[in-house]
Amino acid sequence: MEILAILIPASLLLGAVGLAAFFWTLKSDQYDDPEGDARRILSGEYDDKPKQDD
C-alpha cells in the first residue's frame, strides 16, 4: 500500500496539469470563436515563420 503515497500525488498532479492547461486556454481566448478556429486549421495558406508581434 506504500505505493499509494506516490500514485495518489502523481494522479492529482497530472490532473492539476490538465486543469492548468484548461485555465490557459480560457485566458488566451480560445473559446471565443470555435467555428472559425475549426475551419482555420484547414486553410491552404502556409507561412515559413511564425507571425511577428511588432
Partner 1 sequence: MAMADSAEIPGAAACPACVATDPQETVARIRAASTERLMLSLPGIADADAMMAAERALRGVEGVREARVNMTMKRAAVTAAGTVTPEMLVAALTAAGVEAHELDAGTLAATQTDRTGRELLMRLGVAGFATMNVMLLSVSVWAGAEGATRDLFHWISAMIALPTVAFAGQPFYRNAWSALRRGSLNMDVPITLAIVLTIVTSLYETVQSGAHAYFDATLMLCFFLLAGRYLDHRTRAVARSAAEELAALEVARATRIRDGAEETVPQAELAVGDLIRVRPGARIPVDGVVAEGSSELDRALLTGETLPVFAGPGVAVSAGEVNLTGPLVMRATAVGRDTSLHALTDLVAIAESGRSQYSSLADKAAKLYAPGVHILSALAFAGWLAGTGDLRVALNIAAAVLIITCPCALGLAVPAVTTAASGRLFRRGLLIKDATALERLAETDIAVFDKTGTLTLGQPEAEGFAALDPAMQPLAAGIAQGSAHPLAMAITRAADAEGVAPAPVEALREVPGYGIEGRWQGQVLRLGRLGWTGGDGAEAQGTATWLRLGEDQPLAIGFCDRLRPGAREAVEGLKAQGLEVQLLSGDAEPAVRALAESLGIATWRAGMLPAEKAAHVQALAGAGAKVLMAGDGLNDTAALASAHASVSPASALEAARVASDMVLLHADLSAIPEARATARKAVRRIRENFRIATVYNVLAVPLAVAGLCSPLIAAAAMSASSITVSLNALRVR
Q: How far is CA 47 from CA 33, 36, 50, 51, 54, in A?
A: 22, 19, 7, 9, 17
Footprint of partner 1 on 22-51 (CB under 8 A)? 22-23, 26, 29, 31-36, 39-40, 42-43, 45
In the chain, the amino acid numbered 6 is I
25 Cβ contact partners less than 8 Å away, ≥ 6 residues apart = 31
Footprint of partner 1 on 3-22 (CB under 8 A)? 4, 8, 11-12, 15-16, 18-19, 22
Contact set with partner 1 (CB under 8 A): 1, 4, 8, 11-12, 15-16, 18-19, 22-23, 26, 29, 31-36, 39-40, 42-43, 45, 54
